[in-house]
Structure 1
Amino acid sequence: MATLKHIASKNSDYSAAETYLVYQHDEFSGKKILDEQSRPKLRESYILDTLECGEASFAMACLLANRKYDKNNHPDDIKSHQYIISFDPRDAAENGLTMEKAQALGLNFCKENFPGHPAIVCTHPDGHNHSGNIHVHIVIGSVRTREVERKPYMQKPRDWREGMKHSSTAQTMRHLRVEVMEMCEGAGLYQIDLLNGSKERVSEAEYWVRRRGQLKLDRENAALTAAGQQPRQKKFETVKDTLRKQISSVLHRATSFEDFSDKLMQQYGIAVKESRGQLSYLPAGRTKFIRAKHLGDNYDKEAVLATLTANAEHKTKVQSKQDTIGKLIDIQSRMTEDKGIGYKRWITKHNLKAMAQTLIFLEEKGLTDEVALDQRITELDTKFHESLAVVKDLETRMADNKTLRRHAAAYTSTKNIAQQLKTANRPAAFEEQHRAELTAYRAAVAYFKANNITKLPSPKKLEAEYAQLASEKAKFYEQYKEAKEELLKLKTAKQNVASFFREEEPAQQER
């Protein structure tokens, strides 16, 4: 799941950005890590390229742009912007993502979205938490050094004119998130919806509080273990972490907002209020409310009310559900477990209730005759398997459609590079430089050849076909689900009737 992060910097030392990307730094203090000779240690692995810098370094290109256009003279001016694209850790193993391919994606992303800005594009193989997520840093100077072609997402002159400064507005971030999602879709990588928020929103500040707190807790636990004592807590939690757990524990049991508010106060001393359509929470011991938007989308008004409504409906359905059929329990086999006379009474009561439910269900369906019951079970069994077969076939066709769309997108985006290879003066060097694009192109061509595809299908036609398949799947899945539910009930009813009469025959003989 690729994510996008933005950092604006007011640091006038442009070389600091490149230094951070090239040398190892302590993740908590931000200071360089030195070797035995007190020299900065290079990162073990990275790929770094510059764009729009000409013969100069990134730092010099930015300084020349500032001087030429008389920009960034004030300490509070934003001197540079950094965008970090972090890929899913699974992409390396499952989707063939390499540092070279990530660097190629980052370079193309920078060219498309930040034209005219001096830029550094650097790929690292791992993140702070050593989860193995390949990520790309894109650092751009804030001043554009040339006028660029206006694109649809550019709304104001500052977005394309020479000498203007880049501005990372909400609209810009939305456009960039869409670009990241489409980039991952085209490259066949894992991706999440970056436009609809996060179920648990963790800010930069909270992330580092977690990391520092966990480090401190680990040290304290190590000291306790060395002293022969058992640590009481192994995972550090921030105030917001604790608040999220407490709200969730109450939310899944409440059925109205009043019930939700009362339970929060009674169990945890948390006050909840609504202001301007937004919820805020006040944990015990605090004087300032925490807004729901700082906790995550699961805790805002819309999500909370939706969960409460669902809880209320579920409770009503459970209370009013009359067609549930329980299975009869074999009293003789269970009584060999020596569970006492009370357990036997419970089984007897359960069996009477299950049998009553069975008779009511069969009468409602008009299936009190054994022949009619067997016939209906046979009909449902056939319908069940036929619907299941259609659903599986549609799922296979949907997967094929998705694969075809991915290869078609890759072929379209890399065809020009494959053509350039034929006329390149240094084919080997060109091949190495565009290895990721050429690999995607050849994979697409091989796929088309293996499937006898001679004409590239229209993306809109493929999307429409996928939507049609999804609609058909939903219809047949509903038939499959209905047949399965009724089939299970009828089989349970038949089994209950047979079990009931098997138990009745010895009882009648004894009487």
Structure 2
Amino acid sequence: MATLKHIASKNSDYTAIEAYLVYQHDAFTGKQLLDEQGKPKLRDSYLLDTLECGDFSFATACLLANRKYGKNTQHGDIKSHQYIISFDPRDAADNGLTMETAQALGLKFCEENFPGHPAIVCTHPDGHNHSGNIHVHIVIGSIRTREVERKPYMQKPRDWREGMKHSSTAQTMRHLRVEVMELCEGAGLYQIDLLNGSKERVSEAEYWARRRGQLKLDRENAALTVAGQQPRQKKFETVKDTLRRQISSVLYRATSFEEFSDRLMQQYGITVKESRGQLSYLPSGRTKFIRAKKLGDKFDKAAVLATLQANAERKPKAQFKQDTIGKLIDIQSRMTEGKGIGYKRWLTKHNLKVMAQTVNLLQEKNLTDEDALNQRIAELETKYHDSLAVVKDLEGRMKFNKELRYHVAAYASTKDIAQQLKTAKRPAAFEEQHCAELTAHRAAAAYFKANDITKLPSPKKLEAEYAQLASEKAKFYEQYKEAKEELLKLKTAKQNVASFFREEEQTQQER
């Protein structure tokens, strides 16, 4: 699973590059680590070679090239390029990858793809996050010091002519990724498809934000643990991590784009917009949209629509009734929570839909009069509670029937063992041998005694009784369910009407 990373540097101090490769540095600040005498600490292990430098050091060779060709004189000029090939941590154990092998592969890669450039090839045994992955740093001076043979992947004169600067374009990176994949394939190492990229787009800045945030959170949690308190959060999340999680929680439940965007706004205050065939997301509290391609492949338009279609096909097509209504939301109270103008627009649209559904429901059921509505709600509450009481009673009788059938069956199957115990020559040994059966027999006898059962009922009679109870429960449960659904709808309608007129009254008073 080798990966390729590119870093362009404008630093004119070429010795700093070699110092970074040779000496230990703090992973977060980038500063050199010093020993007790105040001297830089060497890395525990590394391999380093130079190419195209002649008798000079890498830094000197780069400075001479700059002077000879009169380039890299401005502060904003790119002075060097660094390519990092990170191998899979499993390659060391599974495929026999060593630092020497990795260094040889790095030298070969550099000779074939950066001919004519002064270069350093340095191999380290471990990553900065202690993942155990061997990786190779290939640092090249930006100026080619000799003309080289033109190869098929070279498109412009700068790719082969002397005195021209190296440019890491998208086409160049694609070629180099193919080379890394072929390099690993030839060496028998693990490899992934580098051309299609990662499913989750994590930038360099976000990666380090995660590292710094997790380190800070770990320190805070350690202090809480020492104080005897339980940490609330153990994994740090960036803004993009939180956005990915929130979008995913809605995406896998929605079945249409309208439902997807409405739920994001309602639950998390996230606005979704489409521009030039691409989706962008605006979390609550931000003023700038985050494009889907910055979050990951599954958040772009094509992937979102495919997921929504799959959800719609997978979920049963429920027959939604026309009288299904939602609840009015108090716009003023929500706006005091710091919601944006987009959220206010969505709430206004939502409340208009809800009031239209409320009016339709009350008109269809001929309950536009307040007294008639209250009377119907009272009738449904009575029906609801009566049906629920019957259902609970039947459930209790079914549970007792099931327990009784279990103990009757256990008693009948272990009766012979209990009789044999009475005539056994060695009762202790017999009981130890048939411990499970005797325990079940005694538990059944105790159950019968506790429930005053002196005559065991027929298993067939118990099964018929259970089926009859289940049939009655289904009938009353349907009545309970219908009463509950209609009761909730009418109570919601009544609450919506009251909220609507209360809001109208407040508006008139303000006017």
Query: Which deviations, in whole Å up to 9, do the C-alpha atoms of 1:92-132 show, x marking residues without a partner?
Result: 11111111111111111101110000000001111111110
Structure 2 residue identity aligned to 1:90: R
1:317 shift after superposition? 8.6
SS at match of 2:173: helix
* Mapped pair 1:292 → 2:292: yes
**Which deviates more from structure 2 when the two are superposed, residues 304-313 or residues 167-176?**
304-313
Q: Give 2:502's aligned residue.
A: none
Question: Aligned in 2, Cα 1:340/1:215: closer, same or farther, shift over 3 Å?
Answer: same
Q: Give 1:90's aligned residue.
A: 90
Cα RMSD for the two superposed structures: 2.4
Structure 2 residue identity aligned to 1:159: D
Structure 2 residue identity aligned to 1:45: S
8 Å contact 1:143–1:166 — kept in the other structure? yes
Q: Give 1:167's aligned residue.
A: 167
Q: Give 2:236's aligned residue.
A: 236
Structure 1 residue identity aligned to 2:117: H
Structure 2 residue identity aligned to 1:193: D
1:3 shift after superposition? 0.8
1:229 shift after superposition? 1.1
Question: Aligned in 2, Cα 1:36/1:311: closer, same or farther, shift over 3 Å?
Answer: same
Give the 5 Å matches for 1:217-296. 217-296=217-296
Determine the C-alpha separation between the residues in 1 that align with 2:159 and 2:115: 10
**Which deviates more from structure 2 when the two are superposed, residues 221-230 or residues 47-56?**
221-230
Structure 1: gaps spanning 5 or more residues: 320-338, 347-501
Q: Give 1:302's aligned residue.
A: 302
Q: Which runs of 4+ in 1 moved over 3 A?
A: 316-319, 339-346
* Mapped pair 1:52 → 2:52: yes
Q: Give 2:108's aligned residue.
A: 108
Q: Give 1:154's aligned residue.
A: 154
Query: Which deviations, in whole Å up to 9, do the C-alpha atoms of 1:25-45 show, x marking residues without a partner?
Result: 011111100000000000001
Structure 2 residue identity aligned to 1:283: P
1:197 shift after superposition? 2.4
> Identity of paired residues, percent?
84
Query: Which deviations, in whole Å up to 9, do the C-alpha atoms of 1:486-505 show, x marking residues without a partner?
Result: xxxxxxxxxxxxxxxx989x
Query: Which deviations, in whole Å up to 9, do the C-alpha atoms of 1:341-381 show, x marking residues without a partner?
Result: 456999xxxxxxxxxxxxxxxxxxxxxxxxxxxxxxxxxxx
Structure 2 residue identity aligned to 1:226: V
Q: Give 1:383's aligned residue.
A: none
Question: Aligned in 2, Cα 1:318/1:51: closer, same or farther, shift over 3 Å?
Answer: farther
Q: Give 1:367's aligned residue.
A: none
Over alpha carbons, which structure has the higher Rg?
2
**Which deviates more from structure 2 when the two are superposed, residues 142-151 or residues 183-192?**
183-192
1:249 shift after superposition? 1.0
Determine the C-alpha separation between the residues in 1 that align with 2:166 and 2:99: 28
Question: Aligned in 2, Cα 1:90/1:341: closer, same or farther, shift over 3 Å?
Answer: farther
Count of residue pairs the alignment pairs up: 335
Question: Aligned in 2, Cα 1:119/1:342: closer, same or farther, shift over 3 Å?
Answer: farther
Determine the C-alpha separation between the residues in 2 that align with 1:52 and 1:341: 90
Structure 2 residue identity aligned to 1:57: S
Determine the C-alpha separation between the residues in 1 that align with 2:145 and 2:116: 5
Structure 2 residue identity aligned to 1:286: R
Determine the C-alpha separation between the residues in 1 that align with 2:120 and 2:95: 26
Q: Give 1:178's aligned residue.
A: 178
Question: Aligned in 2, Cα 1:163/1:318: closer, same or farther, shift over 3 Å?
Answer: farther
8 Å contact 1:197–1:297 — kept in the other structure? no
1:226 shift after superposition? 1.3
Query: Which deviations, in whole Å up to 9, do the C-alpha atoms of 1:385-410 show, x marking residues without a partner?
Result: xxxxxxxxxxxxxxxxxxxxxxxxxx
SS at match of 1:144: coil
SS at match of 1:273: strand
1:83 shift after superposition? 0.4
8 Å contact 1:147–1:162 — kept in the other structure? yes
Determine the C-alpha separation between the residues in 1 that align with 2:85 and 2:396: 64
Q: Give 2:374's aligned residue.
A: none
TM-score of the two chains, using structure 1 as the length reference:
0.63
Determine the C-alpha separation between the residues in 2 that align with 1:35 and 1:183: 39
Structure 1 residue identity aligned to 2:114: F
Structure 1 residue identity aligned to 2:11: N
Structure 2 residue identity aligned to 1:230: Q
